[in-house]
Amino acid sequence: MTIPQTMRQVEFTGPGGPEVIKLAEAPVPQPGPGQALIRVLAAGINRPDCLQRAGAYPPPPGETAIPGLEIAGEIVAAGADAGGLQIGDKVCALVGSGGYAEYALAAAPLCLAVPAGMSMVEAAGLPETYFTVFDNMMTRGRLKKGETILIHGGSSGIGSTAIQLAKANGARVIATAGSPDKCDFCLKLGADAAIDYRKEDFVAATRALVGPAGVDVILDMVGGAYIPKNISLLGFEGRLVQVAFLQSSKIEQFDFMPVMLRRLTLTGSTMRPRSVALKAEIAAALRRDVWPLLAQGKMRPIIFRQFPLAEAAAAHALMETSAHMGKIILKVA
């Protein structure tokens, strides 16, 4: 297939709301050593893209300003040392930037085969949440079979992946979400209980479910006032894993005594600034432990809505209403 000289891509004219999103024409990038050039068929939208657009999450050094952290498509060229990748391979990939475009570069170790039976639109919704959830919930959170996990934001892209992965690993799942419909969504994904945090105090509701033993792991994206509440719910050896601070990363006062008395672990991480080598370790674990489950249909990305590339602004606006459940995807070709 002939690779064109130029392509369409999404750019931000400056920090701001969805109105700063514009389509532009740009040269098709050239793959360097260890990279593949992918003809993008679909790209996932993630909340960090909205933060980047607003000027609150700049791309790390070495990444382009073009948004987009995950793609699915076909390999059309590869640089030297691009592993066993072949032209024509159908892959999804975690990218540090540049996903909202007709062509994008991906590091070879971060390209994963599209699971059997999965569409490109579905596959584009895999990398960002699976890399993030696997690393935070399974590796940092050390979630084990038979343990109980509380997942905040259960209907989000991250939450919908976490619920399914936790259930596939034999955990008991309690999710929080912001409406009865979102709670139903979490239950249909396999959560054992769902708490509408706008109607109920999630601490009391969780305590009623788990009793004095508390929960083993909490996956949180809210922070702020949730921090002491989460810690109050952790049992002995409990782990609080922070993937975002939608409310705040600060609290006025906190007594850390429970951390010592109940031997708690407070942890968290960001994915994007990590080196390719570190992300490649997660990719290898995903290939081994998670991709077979996707191929068997035991887990699936839940696609709420897809938009053409030219309507990326509408896709961001939808994400910022938080009306969605699961993933929002850009259909690029």
Ligand X SMILES: NC(=O)c1ccc[n+]([C@@H]2O[C@H](COP(=O)([O-])OP(=O)(O)OC[C@H]3O[C@@H](n4cnc5c(N)ncnc54)[C@H](OP(=O)(O)O)[C@@H]3O)[C@@H](O)[C@H]2O)c1
Would you say 156 or 169 has its CB closer to ligand X? 156
- For residue 173, the one-letter residue type is V
115: left (phi over 0), alpha (psi -120 to 50) or beta: beta
Would you say 116 or 204 has its CB closer to ligand X? 204
- For residue 107, the one-letter residue type is A
Residues that bind ligand X (CB under 6 A): 46-48, 128, 132, 152-153, 155-158, 176-178, 182, 197, 221-222, 243-244, 246, 269-271, 319, 322
The least CB distance from residue 78 to ligand X, in Å, is 27
**Cα dihedral across residues 226, 227, 228, 234: positive or negative:** positive
Would you say 67 or 153 has its CB closer to ligand X? 153
> Which residues 6+ apart lie within 8 Å of 51 measured at CB?
57
Would you say 172 or 182 has its CB closer to ligand X? 182
Cβ atoms within 10 Å, residue 252? 5
The least CB distance from residue 260 to ligand X, in Å, is 26
- In sequence order, which ranges of 13-169 are alpha helices (DSSP H)? 47-53, 120-124, 127-133, 157-168
Reduced to 3 states (helix: H, G, I; strand: E, B; else coil), residue 309 is helix
The least CB distance from residue 320 to ligand X, in Å, is 8
- Residue of this chain nearest to ligand X (CB atom): 178
The least CB distance from residue 79 to ligand X, in Å, is 27
Would you say 119 or 247 has its CB closer to ligand X? 247
> Which residues 6+ apart lie within 8 Å of 96 measured at CB?
59, 60, 62, 63, 69, 272
Q: Would you give the end-to-end CA distance of the chain in angstroms? A: 15
The least CB distance from residue 178 to ligand X, in Å, is 2
Residues 271, 80: Cα–Cα separation, whole Å: 26
Would you say 39 or 47 has its CB closer to ligand X? 47
The least CB distance from residue 222 to ligand X, in Å, is 4
Would you say 35 or 176 has its CB closer to ligand X? 176
DSSP 153: S
The least CB distance from residue 86 to ligand X, in Å, is 30
Q: Evaluate whether 91 touches 75 at the Cβ level (below 8 Å).
A: yes
